[in-house]
Structure 1
Amino acid sequence: MATQPIPIIDNLSPKVSPFWHRIFPANIDLAMKSIFGVWTAYFLVNALRAVLWGAPDHSHSLVTYLIKAAISVTVTWALYRCLILMGDRTARAVFILTIPTVFLALAVSYLTDFVMAFPTPVLEHISAVHNVPINMALSHFFDTAFVDYLILVGWGGLYLAMANSRKTQVALIHSRNLEKATRESEMRALRYQLNPHFVFNALNSVSSLIIDKKNGQAENLVDGLADYMRSVLIDDEGDMITVEQEIAQQVRYLEIEQVRFPKRLSFEVHIDDAVRHWKIPALIIQPLVENAIKHGVARSCKPVTINISAEKDNDRLKLTVANDGRLQAARDKTTGTGTGLANIKERLVALYGPAAALIAGNEDDDRVVATIIIPDEEQIFRNYCL
C-alpha cells in the first residue's frame, strides 16, 4: 500500500479569499509584489525619462508606457502560472524562461503597438512615432521586444529565487517544529519513566514500616504519599514548573520520609530570590533526593542532613542536593538500578542539549554533592550546531 506524503503547511503566505487564491494559487504575496513591483518601476522610470529627457509629446509617451505596463502585468501573470505548473522541475522552468518567454515578449510589444496604432498598421505607426524608415521599423520592433524579454526573464529569475527561499524557510520551520515535538515527546516519556521509579521507592518505604510493625507511622506515610503523588503525578502544572514549586514538592517528600527516619533525617533548603520563578522540568531533582535518603540516611547510623539549594551562577541555574556520607562506586545491581540519574541526564539532553549538565561526587568533608546546571529558558529546544 503506497504511502501519501505529508504536505508541509506554508504558514508564511498570507491568508486570502478563494477568489484571489484561484488567481494566485501559490506564493500570492511574492507573485503580486514582484509582478506589480517590476512593472510599476518600469512605468515610473520610463515616465520620468519621458518627462525630463524624452519625446516632445509627453502625454503620448505616458499613455504608451501605461498601456504597456498593463499588458505586461497580464502577460507576466501568465508566465507565473506556467512556472508554478513546473513545481520543482528546474530544467522545465529554465526552458519556459528561454523559448516560450520570447513569444510572450513579442506579444507584449505587438499588443502595445497595436493598441496605440489602431487603426493604423503597426509598422507604419512605429515608423512615424520613432522617426525611422519603414524598412527599419521591424528592427526597432524586435529591439523593443528584446528589452521586454530581458525584463520578463529577470522577473522569472527573481520570482523563482524568492519562491525557493520561501520553500526553504517553510521546510526549516517545519523541521524545527517537528524536532521540538519530538523532544517534547521524549521528555514526557522520560518523565513517565520516572513515575514508576518513584512509586517503587515510595512503596519500599511503606513496606519497611509495616515490617517493623510501625503501623501508625505506615498509615501516616501512606496518607502523605497519596497527597504527594497526587500533586506530582497528575501533571496539572505541565512538564515545566518553577524552582519554588519543584523544591516545595521535595520538601513534602522529605517530611514524609522523616516519618520513617525521625531521628536520623533532617534537611535544609535555600532558594535565591532571583531563581524562584525559573522554569525547570518537573521532578528533575527527585532522583537526587531519593538517592540522598537511600544511600545516605538509610545506610547510616548517624544523623544525616540533606541540603537543597538553588542559586544563579553566571546566568545559569545551579540546583544542588548534598548529604552527609561518601559516594561509593556501584559494584553490583543491589545498590540500585541507576534509573533516576540516567533519567535526569536524558531529560536534560532532550531539553537543553549540551547546555545543561549533571555533576555528582564527594567533597573533602564527607559530603556527597550532586549538582544540576540548567541554562535559561530561551535555550530550550535550541538547535546546537558546530
Structure 2
Amino acid sequence: MNQPSDLLRHDVYEIAGADPSDNLANQKLHAFLWLAGAFWGVHALALWVADALDNHPHLYLAGAMRLLLTVLGLTLCYGIHIILQKLSARSWRKKAPIVLVASLVSAELFAWCTYVGLSYAHATPVNLALSSSIFIRTLVTWTWFFLAWVGLYLAVQYSFEVREEERRSSRLRTMAQSAQLQALHYQINPHLLFNSFNSVSALILDGRTDEANVMVERLAAFFRINLATNPDIDIGLAEEIALQTIYLEIEQTRYPDLAFRVDLPPALARAAVPAFLLQPLVENAIKHGAAGASDIEEVSIAIAARGEDGRLRVVIENSCAAPSGRSEVCGTNTGLRNVRDRLANRFGNTAVLTAERFGISRFRATVELPLVLIA
C-alpha cells in the first residue's frame, strides 16, 4: 500500500480548468480565412473558366488579373471584418448602416478596379464616361456580392458564439459542481477537528500526554494531506484507504476498543476513486458504531475492495447500535447522502451507493463505480 504522504504530490485543482477561449479564437480566425479564401477563390475560378470557354485571347493575363482582383477582394473583406470586430458590442440597429456603407464603398472600389483591370487584360480602352444605368447596375451587383459575404461571415461568427457559450456554460457547470463538492468535503473537517481536540484535552487531563502527542501528530498528518488534496481529483484506492487508516488510528485513541481491518487486493491499489469519497462512510461508521459501543458486543470496522466486470466495489461494514424505529438506517443518513451527491456529480448514473443493515448490530455501505486504473 502506498504511504499516506504520497498524496502530497497532487497539485491543487483549478476549479474552472484551462480556459479554451484562445484556442476557440484561433479556430474562428482560421474559419474566417478559409471562408474568405473559398468565397473569392471560387468566384475567380468560375470567371476564369468562363474566359476559357469564351476562348479569351489573353487568357493567362486575364487569369493573373483576376488573381490580383481576388487579393483586392480579400483585403476589402478583411477591412469589413475589422469593422465588424470593432462594432461587436453595438446593436444591429447601429451596426447595419455602417456595414451597408462599408459594403457600398468596397463594391464601388472593387467595381472600378475590375473594370480597369479587365479592360487592360482585354486590351480595350478604358471609358470613364459610363452611363448612370451601368453605374447603378454594377454597384448594386457588387454590393450584393459583398453583403452575401457579410451574411456568410455572420453565420460563421454566430456558430462560434454558440460554441463559446456552450463552453462557458460547461465551465460554469463545472465550477458549480466543484463548489458543491468542496462544500460536501468541508463538512467533514469541523466534526473531526472538534472531536479530536476534545479527546486530546481529555488525554492531557488524564495525564496520558504520550497518547495525546501521538494523536496530535496523526491529526496533523491527516489535515496536511487533507489540505493538499482536492476532492475533485481522482486518486488511487490505496491512497484513499491509507488516508482513512490515519483517520481510524486517530479515532482509536478516542475509542480504544475499536478494531478495524482492510482488505485491498494489490491489483486494485491503483483503482481511481474521487479523493475522500470514503471519508463520510468511515466517519458514519465511527459515529454510529464506536460511539454506541456500550450497546455493541463487538466494535469493528472493515473496509474491503473487489473488482469484477469492469466495476469497482468498496464495502464498509461496521458495528451499529440496535435499531430504533428505522431498521434500514444506521444514523441520520447525512454521510450517505453526501456520498450519493458526490457520485451523482462525478459519475451520473454509472455509480451507486447502497446501504443496508444486516443482523441486529451490523451495517454495510457499498460503493460501486466504474473500474479505472490510474497510470
| TM bucket normalised to smaller | 0.7 to 0.9
In 1, Cα distance between equivalents of 2:304 and 2:218: 21
Partner of 1:152: 146
- The equivalent residue for 1:4 is none
Tell me the residue number matched to 2:186.
192
Q: What is the correspondence of 1:129-168 to structure 2 with a 5 Å cutoff?
A: 139=134, 148-168=142-162
**Contact in 2 for aligned 1:272/1:311 (Cα 8 Å):** yes
Q: Does structure 1 retain, via aligned residues, the 8 Å contact 2:353–2:365? A: yes
Contact 1:307/1:321 (<8 A) preserved: yes
CA distance in 1, matches of 2:339, 2:268: 20
TM-score (norm 1): 0.71
> Corresponding residue for 2:112?
110
- SS of the aligned residue for 2:23 comes to coil
Match of 2:305 in 1: 310
Q: Is residue 2:237 matched to residue 1:236? A: no
Q: What is the CA-CA distance between 1:308 and the residue it aligns to?
A: 0.5
Q: Which AA in structure 2 matches 1:33?
A: W
Question: Contact 1:296–1:304 at 8 Å: present in 2 too?
Answer: yes
Query: Does the 8 A contact of 1:101 with 1:149 survive in 2?
Result: yes
Alignment match, 2:362: 367
| Count of residues paired in the alignment | 342
Q: 1:256 to 1:29 in 2, by over 3 A?
A: closer
SS at match of 1:302: coil
Following superposition, the deviation at residue 326 of structure 1 comes to 5.6
Of 156-165 and 271-280, the range deviating more from structure 2 = 271-280
Instruction: Name the structure 2 match of 1:61.
Output: 62
CA contact (8 A) 2:107 2:143 kept: yes
* Shift of residue 369, structure 1, vs aligned partner: 0.5
- Which amino acid in structure 2 is aligned with residue 219 of structure 1? D
Q: Percent identity at matched positions?
A: 27
**2:313 corresponds to 1:322:** no
Give the structure 2 partner of residue 219 of structure 1. Answer: 210
Aligned to 2:14: none
Q: Does 1:265 align with 2:258?
A: yes
Aligned to 2:126: 121
Q: Distance in 2 between matches of 1:143 and 1:311?
A: 80
Contact 2:296 2:361 in 1 (8 A): no
Judge conservation of contact 2:289–2:319 (CA < 8 Å) in 1.
Answer: yes
Contact 2:316 2:366 in 1 (8 A): yes
Tell me, yes or no, if the aligned pair for 1:12 and 1:170 is still in contact at 8 Å.
Answer: no
Distance 1:46 1:201 in 2: 85
- Structure 2, unaligned runs of 5 or more: 1-18
Q: Which residue does 1:41 correspond to in 2?
A: 42
Structure 1 pair 375–299 and aligned structure 2 pair: CA distance change class (3 A): farther
What's the CA shift for 1:152? 2.0
CA contact (8 A) 2:284 2:331 kept: no
Name the CA distance, whole Å, in 1 between partners of 2:362 and 2:315.
12
> 8 Å contact 1:327–1:362 — kept in the other structure?
no
1:244 Cα deviation (Å)? Answer: 0.7
Of 175, 179, 182 in structure 2, the residue corresponding to residue 181 of structure 1 is: 175
For 1:77-116, list aligned pairs within 5 A.
77-87=78-88, 89-91=91-93, 101-102=103-104, 104-116=106-118
Identify if the C-alpha distance between structure 1 residues 290 and 352 changes in structure 2 by more than 3 Å, giving closer, same or farther.
same
C-alpha contact 1:316 1:376 (8 A) present in aligned 2: yes
CA separation in 1, counterparts of 2:337 and 2:363? 18
Letter in 2 for 1:72: G
Q: Does the C-alpha gap of structure 1 residues 327 and 300 become closer, same or farther in structure 2, counting only changes over 3 Å?
A: closer
- Structure 1: runs of 5 or more not aligned: 1-7, 16-25, 125-133, 379-386
Give the structure 2 partner of residue 76 of structure 1: 77
Matching residue within 264, 267, 288 for 1:295: 288
The residue type equivalent to 1:291 in the other structure is N
Q: Distance in 2 between matches of 1:47 and 1:329?
A: 91
